[in-house]
Amino acid sequence: MTTDAKQSSRDRLLDAAARLAYLEGVGVGVEALCRTAGVSKRSMYQLFESKDELLAASLDKRAPVYAAELLPDADDGRSPRERILHVFERTEEQSVAPDYRGCPYLAVLTELKDPDHPASRVASRVKQDLTAFFRGEAERGGASDPDLLARQLVLVFDGASARAGARVESLAGLVGPTVTTLLDAAGVR
């Protein structure tokens, strides 16, 4: 097998793992992953030590795309308040897609319940990055307690994405006013 073919198989496996874990959960079987990727189990195990490692690698590969779809550009000229609200506007927009299942990183943490699992470590890092974004913007915006506000915003984000992903709540007209109330209370400009 050539290096290009291995890379192609690897990318197909990473994409299949990300898609199937998001739509069906992390318990998706190796057979389904390999069938979707068009790769044999033997090839999968030549490329990845285990399904756990494949899942972790797929989440890691997807993290920059996830951040780009959710977070505002670094130098977009908006106020910290507008930058925070942008995240929730994007979440609300994404939540109406038929295949929306909520935050894929929260889902992994919830499903696995093992903080030492390779995929949990990746998911925790991504969630910490979101918290750090909120904290940085809260601090720049003059929040009275940037750490507390960041934690509150992640709580709202996770709750909103989980409820919308489970199709028990529409975010329209709900998440924006909730976040605005938190920003007002914290004094964020």
Q: pLDDT digits over 72-115, tens only?
A: 999 899 999 999 999 999 999 999 999 999 999 999 999 999 99
* Topology of the domain covering 3-186: Tetracycline Repressor; domain 2 (1.10.357)
Nearest-Å Rg of the Cα atoms of the chain is 18
Closest C-alpha to 19, from 137, 107, 124, 139: 107
Q: pLDDT for 30-47, tens place per residue?
A: 999 999 999 999 999 999
Q: Determine phi and psi for 105, rounding to 5 degrees.
A: -75, -40
Q: What is the pLDDT of residue 14?
A: 97
Closest C-alpha to 114, from 79, 122, 185: 122
Q: What is the pLDDT of residue 75?
A: 86
Query: d(Cα 184, Cα 108) in Å, to the nearest integer?
Result: 32
Average pLDDT over residues 129-156: 98
Query: d(Cα 150, Cα 38) in Å, to the nearest integer?
Result: 42
